[in-house]
Homo-oligomer: A and B are copies of this chain.
Amino acid sequence: MGDRLPAFAVSSARLRRDLEHVAGYGATVSGGVSRTSFSAADREVRAWLAATCEQAGLVMRTDGVGNVFVRLDAPGAPAGAPPVWAGSHLDSVPEGGRFDGALGSLAALEVVRRLAEERVPLRRPVEAVVFADEEGNYHHLFGSTALARGFTSDELGELRGRDGDLLVDALRGMGFDGAAATRTAVRPGDVHAYAELHIEQGSVLESAGAAIGVVTAIVGMGGGHLEFRGRQDHAGTTPMPMRRDALRGAGELLVRLPDVARSVSDDAVVTCGILHVEPGGANVVPGVVGMSLDFRDPERSRLLDLEEAVVAAARDAAHRHDLEVAYTRESITDPVPLDPRVQELVATVAACHGMETRRLPSGAGHDAQNMARLAPAGMIFVPSVGGRSHSPAELTTWEDVEAGANVLLGVVHALATE
């Protein structure tokens, strides 16, 4: 594939300037970014993007749910040739970082700009895409879900943000065509391929010393709730051996979770992030402990094995401490394998640039998982310093930013010229 790679590269100075500028929209005192979808800060970054495109002579359009497309036509291409899409998102979590989403969006813009500037011959159009509300103030991966499966107007009417506001009011306030919002769907075949550059949000690449992650899949994800039930007792009058302390069961399970995950696969992760003790008095032996469970694995069968192993360990812990335990599954999202050919392309382009790569699954959800339903889709990861993300501490070095953007450019070019 080496002959497909032109000798051009992104302008890393311009990309850095864009990233630094965009970090000012919704900037927080802590140095992070709060840019909720359809907020004032989102409105500002969209205005900046429109002005930037106009200046670069690029055509930008926004669909009915707020997804943005910056198009570069391929003059010699057959009419209606499906475009190559590259993109990410510009919204953030509250007190998020400067790179999550912004990197992939602005790198895609830079790729389109460079292809335009160099008048690179293409066999199909290229579009930089900015998906709306990826972080899910209204709905997890909102914009790409609207494209991949669509929403009915009833569904849309029920979506609310964390502040209780209605999505439909937010869309109307942005000036988007509310009626068109339900007619946004894209059909398989409408898009030739999709590539997304993103920060890893973990520390696998940093630990491995690799600049580029070749993402193999977006992990399957399960959510559930465990409840240990013992007996609420007086903390002073109940000798230790007579207690049925619900926290003992929870404690034992927490200690065992790493082994349970390892028994399923090296990629398996299990997290308890919410733990609720009842009745919650300092001088009362806990009668009930509720625990959230988040479990993930890149393979569906292993995801189910993982759930089973966690529940078995919970039953075992409950039994040993004379407790009862109940498990409720709340959701299972299947893993999404990413396209093997796009993975190959990422690895090849990175190798051509002399970059170290590492194959890894994405532990977090991304718009690419919706795009994978419509077209061959791939993702490129770059290292997150210390694995920090969804935090003002989020950081990727400018060297890695440049490396990732150059790989994206090479991949998009290869896909648009094949």
Contacts and interface: CB of A to CB of B under 8 A. Distances in A.
B269 A273 contact: no
Nearest to A258: B240
A392 B65 CA distance: 55
Interface stretch (A14-22, A279-287, A338-346): A279-287
A284 B364 CA distance: 11
Contact of A280 (B219, B233, B273): B273
Interface in A281-296: 281-286, 292, 294, 296
A387 interface: yes
A391 B221 CA distance: 41
B281 A273 contact: yes
Given A236-B364, A283-B294, 10 more contacts: A236-B269, A237-B362, A237-B389, A238-B363, A240-B262, A240-B270, A251-B251, A251-B254, A273-B283, A273-B286
Closest 10 CB pairs of A and B: A251-B254, A202-B237, A236-B363, A235-B271, A237-B363, A251-B251, A201-B237, A282-B292, A236-B364, A251-B255
A391 B269 contact: no
Interface string A223-239: 10000000011111111
Contacts of A252: 251, 254-255
Contacts of A233: 202, 387-388
A248 interface: yes
B240 A269 contact: yes
Contacts of A250: 251, 254
Interface string A250-265: 1111110110011000
A241 interface: yes
**Number of identical monomers bound together in the oligomeric complex:** 2
A274 interface: yes
Contacts of A202: 233-234, 236-239, 242
Contacts of A283: 271, 273, 294
Contacts of A207: 242
A127 interface: no
Q: Which of A240, A266, A294, A364 has the most CB of B within 10 A?
A: A240
A332 B23 CA distance: 51
Interface in A187-208: 200-204, 207
A24 interface: no
Interface of A: 200-204, 207, 219, 221, 223, 232-242, 245, 247-248, 250-255, 257-258, 261-262, 266-275, 277, 280-286, 292, 294, 296, 362-365, 387-391
A382 to B, nearest CB: 13
A105 to B, nearest CB: 19
Contacts of A363: 234-238
Contacts of A281: 273-274
19 contacts: A202-B234, A202-B237, A204-B237, A204-B239, A219-B236, A234-B364, A235-B273, A235-B296, A236-B294, A236-B362, A236-B363, A239-B267, A240-B262, A247-B254, A247-B275, A252-B254, A271-B285, A273-B286, A284-B390
